Amino acid sequence: MSQIKTDVVVIGAGPAGYVAAIRSADLGKKVVCIEQDNLGGTCLNVGCIPSKALISAGHFMESTKHAAEMGFSVETPKLDITKLIAWKDTIVTRLTGGIGGLFKNRNIEWVKGKGVISSANKVTVETAEGTVEISCTDIIVASGSEPAPIPGFDFSDKVWSSTEGLAPKTLPKKILVIGGGVIGMELGMFYAQVGTEVTVVEFMDQLLPGTDPELVKVVQRKAKKAGIKIHLKSAAKSYTIKGDGVEVLVDVNGKEQTFDADVILLTVGRRPVTDNIGLENVGVKTDKRGFISVDAQCQTKTPHVYAVGDITTGPMLAHKGSAQGVVAAGAICRQPGIAYDCKVVPSVIFTDPEIAWTGLTEAECKEQGLDYKVGRFNFAANGRAMSIHATDGLVKVITDAKEDTILGVHMVGPNVTDLISEGSLAIETGLTAEDITLTIHPHPTLSEVFMEACEDVHSMSPHVMAKK
């Protein structure tokens, strides 16, 4: 058994873990990071990054449909799925290799294997070369999450998780998506854009549960236009192999129906990876769903043991994990005033069109009994949106009726996953709708839609028909 002595051990090298490791090293600590797979975790290898690469390819296919309107004569593109996956993999390799370079630059040691916490200052790792015992002062757990299964649908060559959905060897002609949430709709719309017949089965009464219904309607309309068949209030019960494909039994609004497909894409959510990593050895408990509670410094109830990312309560988002990684490292290094105290964590969905939001929803405002106002502006009235043939969608701004401070921003439309950051900054800094309207936005840009929505809060948008 080989032994290593260090200051900080980070378990997991996803967006939460590798950021925590790098920040700890930048603050003067000797760091060891444990990761059994590739650096970058789920996000860089089989999640955020590869999915956006495929989605970008789907958008390209979709854009060619409008070529004739712009005066171009273009033959229908033919997809080579093998080359597409290879291109996607080059992006992943470049980014994960970049993390390796950042580690080397800071003398962070990567131990490849499965780490198990032995005590509050010791972690044991099973590697290909044997067991490694690492002694340390502080531990940051960033073990991430994994696709959640459902009874009767174990992952296989016919039941794909998002991982298999991002690396098909051949393009399925028909795919049944179980779960119309973020992952299901992002990948479902990609497959529809590249020619696959897609059916989505969602248990709840709307797609993208938890998202403002006003935004969802825009995406659902576009999905149906793309040929996606959507069944709400529906539950997949079982499946059988039928030839080279599958036959899936689904309860659709209380009536049983069967659907044929080449494969099933199961995307009902993700679950934290907190089992079998030794948390019980240091008295760290999880809730019934497997999440760990932490304080404002991302420390568990056990001193010197921190937790960040998908394993902590709150949204499973890479940017939330990275923010927590910075906080945990700062707390370990005794940075004064360091805390995870953000007002908002923005959410983004890369459907077609994109969805993004930050802050309170209208429903939450009503539940809290807040007196609020709403302003809206459509991308259909924006010159830049017209010029890129992307006029579906709107921006909705929610403000405090008396103070005018921005409480929530909700967007659906082109590039809103980039535009939402202005909304988050506005809420974090306590800006008002008037502050945004008095900030000159460049023309012609998509960012003007946010400004116009803020103008509409006071019924003062110069590009909206006046109410008489």
Q: What is the pLDDT of residues 75-94, one digit of tens each?
A: 889 999 999 999 999 999 99
Listed in order, the ranges of the chain carrying CATH 3.30.390.30 are 353-457
Distance of CA 458 to the CA centre of its chain: 33
Which pTM does this prediction carry?
0.96
284: CB partners within 8 A, 6+ apart: 141, 292, 300, 301, 302, 305, 307
Homologous superfamily, domain 353-457 = FAD/NAD-linked reductase, C-terminal dimerisation domain (3.30.390.30)
Cα separation, 408 vs 427, in Å, equals 7
The CATH number that domain 2-146+271-332 falls under is 3.50.50.60
CB neighbours of 401 closer than 8 A, spacing ≥ 6?
Answer: 371, 372, 373
**Strand, helix or coil for residue 335:** coil
Q: Which one from 66, 231, 441, 443 is the annotated catalytic residue?
A: 443
pLDDT at 65: 86
pLDDT at 74: 86
As given in the structure block, the two tokens for residue 350 are 């890369």
pLDDT of residue 468: 67
**CATH code that applies to domain 159-268:** 3.50.50.60
66 flagged as catalytic: no
> What is the location of CATH 3.50.50.60 in the chain?
2-146+271-332, 159-268
Three-state DSSP at 232 gives coil
pLDDT of residue 76: 86
Query: Which residues share a beta bridge with 177?
Result: 200, 265
Residue 139's region, left for phi above 0, alpha for psi from -120 to 50, else beta, is: beta
Structure tokens at 236: 């997949």
Q: Report which secondary-structure segment, H or E, holds 46.
A: helix 41-46
Q: What is the pLDDT of residue 151?
A: 95
The residue assigned the tokens 């924006």 is 382
pLDDT means over runs of 10, the chain (468 residues) = 96 98 98 97 96 96 89 91 97 97 98 96 96 98 96 96 97 98 98 98 97 98 97 97 97 96 97 98 97 98 97 97 98 96 96 98 97 98 96 98 98 98 98 98 98 97 84
